[in-house]
Structures are given as structure tokens and as C-alpha cells.
Amino acid sequence: MNEKRHAKDELYELFARVANGLANAHRLELVDLLVQAPRTVEELAAEAGMSLANTSQHLQRLKQARLVVDERQGLRVRYRLADPEIARLWLEMRRVAERQLAEVERALDAYRDRRHEFEQVSIEQLRERMRSGDAILVDVRPAIEYAAGHLPGAISIPLNELEPRMHEVPPGKEVIAYCRGPYCVYADQALELLSSQGRKVARLEEGVPEWESAGLPLER
């Protein structure tokens, strides 16, 4: 019985290693970024607003938990998720937090303070409008994320390029924007700019991981 107890304890210690790897707000943000696309340490540090040293430390913790893997490319090291299941784990963690913690909704309202001002379309509504030709879909994430995988038919206009490239958005059509999912503000900011120019706009709340979770294909 003591041997069985030891073996069971070891199993739960291994499960705890994964949980401990994720048990940090900064590491969760890094996972969220890597769900979108593989990145170098420098790129992750810039996106997350952290120092290189701090980013490297968090990545090592994720690596020890076998949640990420690194690949050397020349002088740089690029990180990616170790398995697609990790993206699904991240989505499920968010769903549990949404159901169990009322604070999530309040924090989201504070972060995306204009999210209720624009129409929100579902995945099915988006697909219907794209099929009918009534709408154009714009991916406002950084180009590296678009290249890693994007929704079918989407055109890439990163948020920081939207204003000078406004002429690339065909007139006379509704513009539906999306970004990294419901916890990303990029699409809201894009809709603010587009609506100020008199464009009819809407937002797809879901992003690439939610799209894939629904069993739908991406374009790369």
C-alpha cells in the first residue's frame, strides 16, 4: 500500500507541475501570445511589456512544465506551444474563470470600456455575411500572427497600420474586425477608428483559438 501511495502522490505532483507552470499572470499572458503565433524572447517581451530577463525566467518555468518548447534560429531562440492541447487548456481555464468569478466581467468592462458600443456577431453570423458578400473581415493583429494562421477570407491590416491603410478597406461593405479573442482590445480600437470615418462596423468576439476550438479550419 505504501508503494501505491507513493506512486499516486507522484502522479499528482506531475499534474501540479503543469498547474504551477501556469500559476502566474505573466506566464498566462505569454501562453496567450504563443497561442497566436510562435515568437522570440524579444518579441514576447515587447508584446507583454516585460524585461528580457523576466520574460526569459517565465519561459523557463513554462519549459520546465513542458508547456513550451524552444528552437534556435541563428542568434535567436523562438518559442512555441509544446502541444495544441495547451491552447485548449487555456481556453477552458478562461471559461471556468468566467463562470466562477464575477470579477472577470468587471475587469473586462474596465479593460474594454467601449465593448458594448459596437455590434457583436457570432461565428455563424460572420460566415453568413461573408458568404453573401455583404461584409469584409479584417484581422487587426500583428502580421506575425496573421501569417501563423487566420480566419478564412480575412485581410491583414494590423491596428497600428489601419489609419494610413484605410483606403484598402473596400467602401460600401460592413467591416467586421477581429483580434486575439474576447480579452483583446485591438478590434475595439479598430472599430472606433473605422466608425469615426462613417463605416458600418461589427466585431467578432472570437479569435483564432476559439475558431479552431469550434472545429473550423484556418488559412495560413
pLDDT tens, residue by residue, 146-179: 999 999 999 999 999 999 999 999 888 999 999 9
Cell matching residue 186:
485591438
| pLDDT value, residue 80 | 98
Question: Catalytic: 179?
Answer: yes
Q: Which of 179, 187, 201, 202 is catalytic?
A: 179
Domain with CATH 3.40.250.10 in the chain: 110-213
The CATH code of the domain at 2-87 is: 1.10.10.10
Q: Are 65 and 56 in contact (CB under 8 A)?
A: no
- Give me the mean pLDDT over the 21-27 stretch: 97
Q: What is the mean pLDDT of residues 58-81?
A: 95
How far is residue 201's CA from residue 162's CA, in Å, rounded to a whole number?
Answer: 14
- Range(s) of the chain covered by CATH 1.10.10.10: 2-87
Residues 6+ apart with CB under 8 A from 159: 140, 141, 179, 186, 189, 190
CATH number of 110-213: 3.40.250.10
For residue 179, give every residue at least 6 positions away whose Cβ sits within 8 Å of its Cβ, in sequence order, or none.
Answer: 139, 140, 141, 159, 185, 186, 187, 190, 207
